[in-house]
């Protein structure tokens, strides 16, 4: 058989349902081999969008999302989305074409060392040089992408290898091992927690990745320990849960950090340093750390480890449950929770034109009723979403955090709808981020997926302006000209709704979510409180 046919058989064996990408001259054999396959090739309009789709699909399903590009510019266009998957630990397999082996030793049209370039942003990057190794390389790639902390891997298929005749068959897909933590470390961690009067749990991305949200909630409830989550772990507890202290992650001094200042031990569960460096939440108290994760902790002066429970997160929490005593909830928790609820909802009903970001977030929450998957792009709106939007379920708010790349929301929403066709999906984006991959409306329309896109419209790179004003008290080079977004949507066969006043917002969102088509909601946003938020948080003093 042809090597590209074997390649496709191996992908089918791995359970691949979608490949996101763009065909090219050097991957044409692989594209041809997909004819008759159960795998759907989703043609996009920019390879960056393909990588973002694979990234979000991997996060939501726990199975590797797959993206494909040709060599040269096609491959390098993938790199932004692959970097996002790498730093946010999303399982992705990136496949690129390449020139024939007979010409890669010399200067050649569109040839650069893509394997070497991808090595810095993947767990593994490998060129196929011998056709009969295809089953081994594909099985290894898919295994590595989900093993331990998941991440992106890269396979390069040169065009002359793809067209060769070869023999072989896919290798069996074996279950991943589940590692149990060492009992001695579990007991040591339990002793530290039992001695503590004010323990606090910090839930990170690993709780979501390992499907350990229920285990975390059960442990917190059984031991009466309050929970703070990172941006990436939103939804590990529902917003009305008495033990949730909501989200941490702003670099300024946020209210929730009072809980860390008052604690005498911090139990991190599935926490990645890339989410929120310890110096931002443990610089003053220097509380001892109990680390629970699939991997040993990174070294950091602000992360003073006292116990390290390494293993499957669910297994670790289950093991700890037998040794940790139920605590008396420290009284400051209720007071802090009350303060947080007040701060998070003070501006929910603020009225006016243009619309405050707090009101947009509050109305999105009202409209989606705790059911939607919300994909946040990167920009000023992300800071408000990350701090104030509290989903009711895990893996229902996805934020590009470690890589923090603009442009993820629209392609990410498409992938989310493919992964969860019965769920409402909302892309929350700024106008700058939207314009980077808004052309993928064509992809969404072709696929027939119904998504809602909410644009925070200010005709600026608002987050950069925010940073400039904080640092220099002036801004520069952040304004641009927007198209008519309603006409833009219409040109792709989608519907657009313009919102200029807060009173128009909730009805527009409800109409959009009730639609079975793509709806773009263009909201004029008032970001005048951005700097005030930074100042308020920076000057905040705990009052417990």
Cα gap 63→68, rounded to integer Å: 16
Question: pLDDT value at position 262?
Answer: 87
CATH code that applies to domain 3-162: 3.40.50.970
Cis ω on the peptide bond leading into residue 354 (within 30° of 0)?
yes
Q: Give the position of tokens 């640092």.
A: 471
Cα gap 425→421, rounded to integer Å: 9
Cα gap 514→508, rounded to integer Å: 10
Concatenating the DSSP letter of every residue in 218-262 gives HHHHHHT--EEE-GGGTTSS-TT-TTEEEE---SS--TTHHHHHH
Question: pLDDT value at position 339?
Answer: 83
Mean pLDDT, consecutive 10-residue segments, the chain of 544 residues?
97 98 95 97 98 98 97 96 97 90 64 91 97 98 95 96 95 92 96 96 96 97 96 95 90 73 94 93 86 95 95 96 94 86 85 96 97 96 92 95 94 98 98 97 98 97 89 92 97 98 98 97 93 66 58
Shortest CA distance to 155 belongs to which of 36, 61, 75?
A: 75
Question: pLDDT value at position 257?
Answer: 78
CATH 3.40.50.1220 domain residues, the chain: 183-338
Q: What is the CA radius of gyration of the chain?
A: 24
495: which residues sit within 8 A by CB, 6+ positions away?
489, 512, 515, 517, 518, 519, 520
pLDDT digits 0-9 by tens, 370-421: 999 999 999 999 999 998 899 999 999 999 999 999 999 999 999 999 999 9
1: which residues sit within 8 A by CB, 6+ positions away?
165, 166, 167
Shortest CA distance to 10 belongs to which of 176, 171, 175, 174?
A: 171
Q: Would you say 179 and 311 are in contact if contact means Cβ atoms under 8 Å apart? A: yes
465 token code pair: 């302006």
Q: How would you classify the pairing of strands 199-203 and 227-229?
A: parallel
Angle between helices 47-61 and 409-419 (to 10 degrees): 40
Provide, for the chain, the percentages of residues in helix, strand and coil under a 3-state DSSP scheme, each rounded to the nearest 5.
45, 15, 40
Question: pLDDT value at position 542?
Answer: 60
520 token code pair: 């773009």
Cα gap 247→361, rounded to integer Å: 15
Question: pLDDT value at position 102?
Answer: 64
Q: Helices in 278-356 by DSSP H: which ranges?
A: 313-321, 332-345
473: which residues sit within 8 A by CB, 6+ positions away?
none
Question: pLDDT value at position 101?
Answer: 64
Torsion angle, alpha carbons of 159, 130, 47, 151, to 10: 180
Strands (E) in 421-506, as ranges, are: 425-430, 452-457, 495-499
CATH 3.40.50.970 domain residues, the chain: 3-162, 348-535
Q: Give the count of beta carbons closer than 10 Å to the beta carbon of residue 218.
A: 14
Concatenating the DSSP letter of every residue in 336-390 gives HHHHHHHHHHTTTT---SSB-HHHHHHHHHHHHTT--EEEE-SSHHHHHHHHH--
Strands (E) in 105-263, as ranges, are: 124-127, 152-158, 199-203, 227-229, 244-247
**Structural domain 348-535, CATH architecture:** 3-Layer(aba) Sandwich (3.40)
543 token code pair: 């009052």
Cα gap 26→99, rounded to integer Å: 7
446 token code pair: 């072709």
Question: pLDDT value at position 61?
Answer: 97
CATH code that applies to domain 183-338: 3.40.50.1220
């Amino acid at each position: 058989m042809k090597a590209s046919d074997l390649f496709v058989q191996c992908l089918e064996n791995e359970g691949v349902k979608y490949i996101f990408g763009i065909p090219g001259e050097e991957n044409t054999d692989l594209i041809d081999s997909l004819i008759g396959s159960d795998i759907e090739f989703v043609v996009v309009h920019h390879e960056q969008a393909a990588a973002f789709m694979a990234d979000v699909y991997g996060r939501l399903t726990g199975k590797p999302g797959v993206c494909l590009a040709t060599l040269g510019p096609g491959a390098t266009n993938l790199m932004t989305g692959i970097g996002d998957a790498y730093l946010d630990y999303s399982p992705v397999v990136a496949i690129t074409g390449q020139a024939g082996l007979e010409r890669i030793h010399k200067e050649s049209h569109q040839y650069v060392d893509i394997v070497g370039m991808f090595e810095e942003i993947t767990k593994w990057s490998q060129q196929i040089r011998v056709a009969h190794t295809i089953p081994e390389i594909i099985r290894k790639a898919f295994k590595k992408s989900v093993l331990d902390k998941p991440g992106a891997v890269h396979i390069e298929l040169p065009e002359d290898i793809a067209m060769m005749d070869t023999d072989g068959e896919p290798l069996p897909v074996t279950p991943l091992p589940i590692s149990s933590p060492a009992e001695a470390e579990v007991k040591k961690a339990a002793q530290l927690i039992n001695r503590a009067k004010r323990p606090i749990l910090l839930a990170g991305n690993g709780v979501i990745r390992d499907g350990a949200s229920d285990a975390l909630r059960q442990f917190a409830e059984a031991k009466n320990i309050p929970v703070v989550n990172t941006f990436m772990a939103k939804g590990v507890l529902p917003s009305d849960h008495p033990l949730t202290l909501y989200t941490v992650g702003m670099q300024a001094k946020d209210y929730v950090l009072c809980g860390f200042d008052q604690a005498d031990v911090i139990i991190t569960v599935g926490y990645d340093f890339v989410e929120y460096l310890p110096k931002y939440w443990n610089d003053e108290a220097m509380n001892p750390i109990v680390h629970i994760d699939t991997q040993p902790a990174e070294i950091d002066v602000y992360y003073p480890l006292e116990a390290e429970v390494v293993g499957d997160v669910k297994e670790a929490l289950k093991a700890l449950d037998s040794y940790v005593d139920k605590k008396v909830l420290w009284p400051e928790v209720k007071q802090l929770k009350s303060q947080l609820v007040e701060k998070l909802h003070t501006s929910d009903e603020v009225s006016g034109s243009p619309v405050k970001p707090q009101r947009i977030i509050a109305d999105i929450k009202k409209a989606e009723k705790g059911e939607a998957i919300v994909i946040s792009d990167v920009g000023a709106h992300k800071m408000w979403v990350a701090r104030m939007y509290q989903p009711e379920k895990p893996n229902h708010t996805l934020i590009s955090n470690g890589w923090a790349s603009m442009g993820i929301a629209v392609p990410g929403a498409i992938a989310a709808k493919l992964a969860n066709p019965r769920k409402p999906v909302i892309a929350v984006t700024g106008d700058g981020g939207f314009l980077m991959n808004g052309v993928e409306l064509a992809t969404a329309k072709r696929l027939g997926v119904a998504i809602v896109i909410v644009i925070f419209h200010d005709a600026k790179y608002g987050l950069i302006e925010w940073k400039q004003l904080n640092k220099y008290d002036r801004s520069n080079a952040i304004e641009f000209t927007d198209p008519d977004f309603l006409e833009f949507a219409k040109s792709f066969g989608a519907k657009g709704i313009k919102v200029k006043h807060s009173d128009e917002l909730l009805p527009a969102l409800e109409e959009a979510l009730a639609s079975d088509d793509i709806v773009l909601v263009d909201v004029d946003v008032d970001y005048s409180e951005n700097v005030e938020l930074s100042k308020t948080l920076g000057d905040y003093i705990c009052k417990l």
